[in-house]
C-alpha cells in the first residue's frame, strides 16, 4: 500500500469497525523506503539516495499527498484505533545479494529483481508531472544511475520491512478502553489477567 493512501491511519480505524470483536485481527506489511547501511559503504553522493529524497519530495507536492514513510507509525496507529495485542516485527531486506548469509543473499536477489523491474513504475507518478514535474526522458536518464546503484554489491544497503498486527478487543475489553477524540487508550493494568 506504500504511497497509495492519503491516510493509512484512517484505513486502520475503518478496518477495526469491520472486524469481529475479540478475534478479528488486522495485519499490515509495509516497507520503509529509507535506505539503511551499517558499515558506511554508501558513497556521499549516491544516486539511489537522491532518488529516495526526490520521491519523498514528490509525494508532498501531489494534489493529494500520499505519505511514504509510514511503516514505523503502524503500531501506534493500531493502538490509537483501539487494537490490543499489537505486535511489530522489523526485518531487514538487502537491496541486492550483497550479504554472505545464503538466505539473505537469496532475499537480496529477489529484492533486486523487484527494484530493477519496478523502478520506472515507482518513479513516474512522483517524479513526473503530478509530483516534481520531470519529463519521462529526464526520469529515465536519472534512473540509469539509480539502476547501477541497485546492482552495486560493494554498497551494503538494506530497507526495513515492518509487519504489524493487532486484535480488535472483545466487547468486555472495549468497555475498559478510554476513548478520546480519534484515539483509544488502555488504562494501565486494565487488560491484565486477574491474579
Mean pLDDT by 10 residues, the chain (195 residues): 80 94 95 93 93 89 79 95 95 96 96 95 90 94 97 97 95 74 56 44
pTM, 2 dp:
0.83
Contacts of 22 (CB under 8 A, 6+ apart): 167, 168, 169, 170, 171, 173
pLDDT of residue 195: 41
Q: Contact 34/160 with Cβ under 8 angstroms?
A: yes
pLDDT of residue 67: 81
pLDDT of residue 64: 72
DSSP secondary structure letter of residue 193:
P
pLDDT of residue 188: 56
- Which residue, chain included where needed, has cell 486484535? 167
pLDDT of residue 172: 85
> What are 172-177's contacts with CB under 8 Å, separation 24+?
173/22, 173/84, 174/21, 174/82, 177/82
pLDDT of residue 194: 41
pLDDT of residue 193: 44
Amino acid at each position: 500500500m506504500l504511497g497509495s493512501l492519503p491516510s493509512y491511519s484512517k484505513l486502520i480505524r475503518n478496518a477495526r469497525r469491520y472486524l469481529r470483536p475479540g478475534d478479528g485481527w488486522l495485519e499490515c506489511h509495509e516497507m520503509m523506503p529509507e535506505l539503511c547501511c551499517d558499515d558506511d559503504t554508501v558513497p556521499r553522493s549516491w544516486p539511489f539516495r537522491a532518488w529516495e529524497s526526490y520521491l519523498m519530495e514528490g509525494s508532498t507536492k501531489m494534489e493529494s499527498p500520499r505519505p511514504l514513510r509510514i511503516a514505523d507509525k503502524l503500531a501506534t496507529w493500531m493502538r490509537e484505533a483501539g487494537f490490543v495485542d499489537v505486535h511489530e516485527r522489523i526485518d531487514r531486506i538487502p537491496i541486492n545479494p550483497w550479504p554472505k548469509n545464503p538466505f539473505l543473499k537469496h532475499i537480496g536477489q529477489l529484492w533486486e529483481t523487484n527494484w530493477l523491474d519496478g523502478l520506472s513504475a515507482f518513479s513516474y507518478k512522483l517524479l513526473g508531472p503530478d509530483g516534481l514535474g520531470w519529463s519521462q526522458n529526464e526520469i529515465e536518464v536519472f534512473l540509469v544511475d539509480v539502476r547501477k546503484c541497485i546492482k552495486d554489491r560493494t554498497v551494503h544497503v538494506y530497507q526495513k520491512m515492518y509487519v504489524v498486527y493487532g486484535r480488535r478487543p472483545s466487547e468486555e475489553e472495549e468497555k475498559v478502553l478510554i476513548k478520546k477524540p480519534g484515539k483509544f487508550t488502555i488504562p494501565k493494568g486494565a487488560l491484565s489477567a486477574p491474579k
